[in-house]
Amino acid sequence: VDSSLLNSAKETLLRGKQTTTFCSLLGMDDAKGRMFRLKIDVRQDSCGNVIESAIHIDQMSGGSVEPLHDRSEPLTSVNGYADPARPRSFHLSFSSGLPPSASMLAALTESSDGQLRLEAPNRAARESLLLAIGISNYRGDLSSLSNETILFPDHRISKADCLDSEVMLVHSFDTDLTVCSELPSPTVVLKDSFVSASKCPRSLSHKCSNDASDTEAEIEELRRILQIKETSISELKQKLATSRAETSKAERDLQSCRHSVRETSSELKRARDEIETKTKLLEEHVMARRDEEIEHQKLIKSLSNEKAVLSAAVEARDGKTVALTKKISILEKQIVSQSQQLSELDNLTNELVRYTSCCLA
């Protein structure tokens, strides 16, 4: 690592506003033809060490900025890896996955096994960006950070990568043998132009026999081992491709589940709000009904009192009516008796008149 680039990245990211931005990043693969902007934010403790970092990725289009994810859901645990065959190319991997709001970013990285492949304006910009990402992920003592510090310790060479000449670890045995030491047991890969027994290098002279037949046998044994290893590597490649496909599918399913959970949470929140509103309305209605019931009870009590008063008045009138009825009955009897007496008087009067008439005659 260039010490000047490392010091510049530390100064820019840690000494200023604790943020740095990289623009004019060209997309590759599915993101080809697009331009991106990457912003790195860090938060430090009292000792100046990084305790939290976040990355924001935006798409640039004609001077306008289009966020590829929600600002409240920044990208974390982002690693960057350079392409050794291309001085400006690199790719970003998201070990903790993408947030639900980064659906566009997920679509742009789907065909690249979840990696966003980009191209910086120049090699210095690429190295500065990767250093800034590494520093933002570094959780050690920044005072001990040097150009020998491993900023990406989790990036290891797989067995399948050992076939790629860009990542092979070459141990020179007079340029005749190449060793990939990252395998469980060192695998020796013979070059196409393998030397004959008569040209065996001095560094391997203890393995070369003066007998040509022994050398040929060793060569055949090495070729057999190589074929076995190649078969194993081919199987591992197939398993790796299957595993990557399953991982990609699982990540998509996880994002879909997260989106569903988010929608369900929103619906649940709306339902709770509606229940609270309806509960308040119901409580208000119940209180109003209780007030009405109290007023109704008061009215019933008042009417009951009035009924009692009226009932007493009716009973008094009924008593008077009975007395008057009795008096009327007595008077009617008296009238009948007097009528009879009057009738008798009339009869007597008539007889008297008749007698009188007779006497006068």
% of residues, the chain, pLDDT over 90: 19
pLDDT band per the 50, 70, 90 thresholds, residue 341: confident
pLDDT band per the 50, 70, 90 thresholds, residue 35: very high
Give the residue-averaged pLDDT of 284-311.
92
Look at residue 285 in the predicted model and tell me its pLDDT. 92
Query: pLDDT for 202-244, tens place per residue?
Result: 444 444 445 566 777 778 878 888 888 888 888 888 888 888 8
Residue 162 pLDDT > 50, yes or no? Answer: no
Look at residue 165 in the predicted model and tell me its pLDDT. 34
Look at residue 172 in the predicted model and tell me its pLDDT. 31
* pTM of the predicted protein model: 0.42
Residues with Cβ within 8 Å of 113's Cβ and at least 6 positions away in sequence, in order, are 244, 247, 248
Say which residue, 124 or 199, is predicted with more confidence: 124
Look at residue 166 in the predicted model and tell me its pLDDT. 34
Q: Residue length, the chain?
A: 361
Range of weakest confidence among 60-64, 134-138, 145-149, 223-227: 145-149
Residue 275 pLDDT > 90, yes or no? Answer: yes
Look at residue 234 in the predicted model and tell me its pLDDT. 83
The dihedral of CA 303, 305, 306, 311: what is its sign? positive
Residue 29 pLDDT > 90, yes or no? Answer: no
Look at residue 1 in the predicted model and tell me its pLDDT. 55
Contact 152, 134 (CB under 8 A): yes
Query: pLDDT for 247-262, tens place per residue?
Result: 888 988 998 888 889 8
pLDDT band per the 50, 70, 90 thresholds, residue 188: very low
Q: Rounded to whole angstroms, what are the CA distances from 41 to 19, 52, 328, 350?
A: 4, 8, 115, 144
Contact 42, 18 (CB under 8 A): yes
Contact 133, 79 (CB under 8 A): yes
Look at residue 197 in the predicted model and tell me its pLDDT. 33
- Please choose, from the candidates 110, 112, 111, 100, the residue with its C-alpha nearest in 3D space to the C-alpha of residue 68: 100
Helix axes 123-137, 3-10, angle to 10 degrees: 60
Q: Rounded to whole angstroms, what are the CA distances from 94 to 70, 75, 77, 155?
A: 16, 8, 6, 13
Q: Rounded to whole angstroms, what are the CA distances from 23 to 19, 38, 102?
A: 13, 6, 19
**Angle ∠(20,23,27) on CA atoms, nearest 5:** 130
| Euclidean distance between CA atoms 76 and 136, whole angstroms | 10
Look at residue 289 in the predicted model and tell me its pLDDT. 92
| Euclidean distance between CA atoms 36 and 39, whole angstroms | 10
Residue 145 pLDDT > 80, yes or no? Answer: no
Residue 170 pLDDT > 50, yes or no? Answer: no
Residue pointed to by tokens 């469980």:
184
Residue pointed to by tokens 């010091």:
7
Give the residue-averaged pLDDT of 154-180.
35
Contact 31, 114 (CB under 8 A): no
Look at residue 296 in the predicted model and tell me its pLDDT. 92
Look at residue 2 in the predicted model and tell me its pLDDT. 66
| Euclidean distance between CA atoms 318 and 312, whole angstroms | 10
β partners of residue 179: 188
Say which residue, 34 or 145, is predicted with more confidence: 34
Contact 106, 252 (CB under 8 A): yes
Please, what is the average pLDDT of the chain? 78
Q: Which tokens belong to 85? A: 């065959």
